[in-house]
Structure 1
């Protein structure tokens, strides 16, 4: 199966998993409901892990395809950082969702009633999210520097033998894999520091953002075609 076909199948499965997360009772009131929600959150994270495993394997054969990413829309590609979404976007999403939910429940929260959702993050959770964001920014910068170094040496590709080009492509593939590893680690780290309900809400919000950008990108690409 080509990666393009794999991506379409993977994307459809993501929609199905997110729909199941939406339908799960939140907050979970019974142990059975908590077990179901925990299982769904685990499946969603594993689904992202499967994507990056398959991507890494395919990129070793044709890394440049993942920078062109023909299976994505023009809008999606314009937002890419080294072949995918920028990891720090996840933190902006958590802060935005937390603010929206806090405002919708502000009276209850100020009266001491805990909602348990992303609008009810504890001071400790905010601190850990902030620390994780700082760590992720540094790692993003390190990987960006590695790509810049690779690009600075791009003129070496012209005129070098085939074996030399293959070495350059292997280095680029390794940079892409580091970027994807950071994307997956960011998802896993946030899910771990959030409660079960908050993790489910974060995964749904992240997928909704992905769905929305893709839908708008498809619309724009269709308008641009003659």
Structure 2
């Protein structure tokens, strides 16, 4: 958990330099990037993953895929805590989604639009746009995006800590983290395999 916290702290620091790199990281495959939520995993998916590993979410048959690994049956008390955590997490996710949507809409609002749709930016003769320097506005926008990502990371960290430290028993927590790591590596391999397959089709 300390490693996860260090990772989150470093992301926050680097995002203040350029947040856009984290929303579509080049280290991830297109498949991995397609399932990102504000530059990472959706925190509520951590809870669904725990349900799946306990056998409660039988639709996914995740325990079969992960070679029969389970975190064991959840007690009534654990279930209650998970339900409360899920409700709280989803409410916070919705708030962050709304803020991200506003930031994305700002791109076609002031001050960006005014830098594009001005008469001096367009030369009729060669039909070529001459854009003004938008670095200042883009830097400000990036800072806002970094702030949203930082809050999303905090929610991810808080949710994971609640699951691993406050809800699951130590042995369950170890099995949960091991299964999560395996799932992460599998997604990476699936992404690489699909990229290779699609590249061959294009060739």
TM-score by length of 2: 0.77
Tell me how far apart the structure 2 counterparts of residues 219 and 66 of structure 1 sit (CA, whole Å): 23
Shift of 1:165: 2.5
Tell me how far apart the structure 1 counterparts of residues 39 and 135 of structure 2 sit (CA, whole Å): 24
Q: Which structure 1 residue ranges, 4+ long, deviate > 3 Å from structure 2?
A: none
Partner of 1:92: 48
Partner of 1:169: 142
Richer in helix (by share):
1
TM-score by length of 1: 0.70
Which residue of the other structure, out of 127, 135, 152, is the alignment partner of 2:105? 152
Aligned pairs for 1:62-77 (under 5 A) are 62-77=18-33
Work out which of the two has the higher radius of gyration on C-alpha atoms and give 1 or 2: 2
Shift of 1:161: 4.9
Partner of 1:224: 198
Q: Is the 8 A contact 2:55 2:73 kept in 1?
A: no
Partner of 1:208: 182
Which residue of the other structure, out of 160, 185, 202, is the alignment partner of 2:158? 185
Q: Is the 8 A contact 2:71 2:175 kept in 1?
A: yes
Root mean square deviation of aligned Cα: 1.9
Secondary structure in 2 matching 1:84: coil
- Where in structure 1 are there 5+ consecutive unaligned residues? 1-44, 103-116
Tell me how far apart the structure 1 counterparts of residues 4 and 196 of structure 2 sit (CA, whole Å): 28
Aligned pairs for 1:19-168 (under 5 A) are 45-99=1-55, 118-155=71-108, 156=110, 157-158=112-113, 159=115, 161-168=134-141
Tell me how far apart the structure 1 counterparts of residues 42 and 81 of structure 2 sit (CA, whole Å): 19
